[in-house]
Each structure stands twice: as C-alpha cells, then as structure tokens.
Amino acid sequence: ADRMPSHVAVIMDGNGRWAEERGLPRREGHRAGAAAAREMVYGALEIGLRHLTLYTFSTENWKRDPEEITTILKGIQREVDEETIRDLDVRQRWSGRPDELPEDLVQTLLSRERRTRTRSGLTLTLCINYGGRDEITRAAAALAQAAREGEVDPHLLGEDDFARHLPCPEMPDVDLLWRTGSEQRTSNFLPWHTAYAELYFTPGYWPDMDRRDLWQAITEYSRRQRRRGGVGAPLTSTENHQPSPHARPDPRH
C-alpha cells in the first residue's frame, strides 16, 4: 500500500485506430473508449486509488472533423449522466476551458461537481477542452491581475503561489502518467502537474484496456524508484540498475 500512487493521469489514446483496424467508423472507437473509461473508474475504486484524471478532449482536438467532435462531446455528455457512475463514491471534477463547449455540457459538468463534492472515495477529473499551455497562461493572467491589485508581490512569488492561481488549484501532482496507443508524447497534458511524474507508455489501443491494465500500470509504478533529484536507496550487489520490486520505500513518498 505504501507504494501505491496517489494520482494516476491517463492519455486515453487509440480510439480511432482501434475502429479503423476493424473497418468501423471512428465514432465506434470513441464509443468503445467510453466503456473502457467507465471500466477504469471501477478498477480505480477497487484498488483504492485517490485520484484518477482522464484526458478526454484537448484544446487541439477541435482540428478534427466536426462530425467526430460532435460524437465525442455527445459521448461525454452521456457518460457524465451515466446512472451507474452517479451512484458510486466518486467525486467528479472537470478541468478545461468552458468557452467553445456546448452550454448544456458545461452545465451538466458543473452540476456533477456540485452534487458530488462531499464524496471521498475517488476523485475523478475529466479534462475536457483542456490544454496545458492554456492552463498555465490562465494562471499567469490570474497572477498578473493579483499583482496589479497588490495581492501578490512579484519579487516574492514562489511555486506554491503559482500553483494556487491555476484554474484547478486543488489538483495534486501526478505520480503516474500513462499513455496508451504507442505514441510517446504528452500532447499538452498537465505540464505543471506531471513535472516529476513517472511516465508509462503502452502499445495497446485504449478501447482494449480494462481494469487489469490499470492495475498493471500501478504495479509498474510500485517498482520505480523516485529520487526527485536526491540519492536513492543504495543498490545491493545482486541488483543491476533495474529498480527492484523489493527496493526500500521512499520515505518521502
């Protein structure tokens, strides 16, 4: 338990390729991807994860065909309204820009946030119309405003002050960033929060994932040695430079 990550963030990639390989329209990939996302919520609750953050729609995804965008956004609306998730001990949150999104989706997301705010089992954050640079730019704008009003002194500004001005200041640092679908990039996802995250890239497409893949990702994380710039536990003579599953837990973890 002491090697469990607290916060897992996932770039759920490969919906389109999953569908294309089956000769199906891309929307079928997004439909199957939504089912996989629901499955991960159950997996996260079962293993006792505190925070699960899912990259659902990026500020760059507006470049896609309008029909695909509509399919994705309607799918999100359906999932957020989903009865089975609604009754679980899940606090639902949303990170992203409200502009450009359909008004009814924004209202649904805000209402789910309000209704679930006292739940404590799992915090599920959906990043919808989310962009990392947008998030940082908005924090910079909020700080500039605070400085102009005399609330912060630019000379005394620290990292914690910056983090407090992010649009979702409660979001904790990411321990494990998992991306499916073979690409090894972060695509503008949570640049502030993943600064020291462990990275995990897997080849399978997102719709083929289930809770066992989440647990596998967590198992892989539990074997990593996080040094955060310090010096780790010394290697024994039988250990290579591979992190050992029996390595001493990092006391700062």
Which residues here bind ligand IPE, judged by CB under 6 A? Answer: 11-17, 55-58, 60-61, 72, 181, 183, 185, 187
Q: Please, what is the minimum distance in Å from the beta carbon of residue 55 to ligand IPE?
A: 4
String of DSSP letters for 27-86? HHHHHHHHHHHHHHHHHHHHHT-SEEEEEEEETTGGGS-HHHHHHHHHHHHHHHH-HHHH
String of DSSP letters for 80-128? HH-HHHHTSSEEEEEES--TTS-HHHHHHHHHHHHHTTT--SEEEEEEE
- Nearest residue (CB) to Mg ion, 13 versus 198: 13
117 binds, among ligand IPE, Mg ion, none (CB under 5 to 8 A by kind): none
- Nearest residue (CB) to ligand IPE, 13 versus 213: 13
CA-based R_g, the chain, Å: 19
86 binds, among ligand IPE, Mg ion, none (CB under 5 to 8 A by kind): none
Q: How far apart are the first and last CA of the chain?
A: 11
- The verdict on whether 15 is a catalytic residue reads no
- The verdict on whether 99 is a catalytic residue reads no
Q: List interacting residues with Mg ion (CB under 5 A).
A: 13
- Nearest residue (CB) to ligand IPE, 46 versus 183: 183
Query: What angle separates helix 26-47 from helix 211-223, to the nearest 10 degrees?
Result: 60
Tell me how far the alpha carbon of residue 193 is from its chain's centroid.
10
Residue-wise over 18-27: b if at least 16 C-beta within 10 A, else e?
Answer: bbeeeeeebb
> φ, ψ for residue 32 (rounded to 5)?
-65, -35
CB distance 81 to 113 below 8 Å: no
183 binds, among ligand IPE, Mg ion, none (CB under 5 to 8 A by kind): ligand IPE
The residue nearest Mg ion at its CB is 13
DSSP state of 166: S
- Nearest residue (CB) to ligand IPE, 9 versus 122: 9
Q: Please, what is the minimum distance in Å from the beta carbon of residue 123 to ligand IPE?
A: 19
17 binds, among ligand IPE, Mg ion, none (CB under 5 to 8 A by kind): ligand IPE
CB distance 144 to 113 below 8 Å: no
Q: Please, what is the minimum distance in Å from the beta carbon of residue 56 to ligand IPE?
A: 6
Distance CA 101, CA 128 (A): 9
Q: Please, what is the minimum distance in Å from the beta carbon of residue 194 to ligand IPE?
A: 14
58 binds, among Mg ion, ligand IPE, none (CB under 5 to 8 A by kind): ligand IPE
- Nearest residue (CB) to Mg ion, 205 versus 221: 205
Q: Please, what is the minimum distance in Å from the beta carbon of residue 191 to ligand IPE?
A: 13
Question: Choosing from 15, 61, 175, 213, which is the catalytic residue?
Answer: 61
Catalytic residue positions, numbered: 13, 61
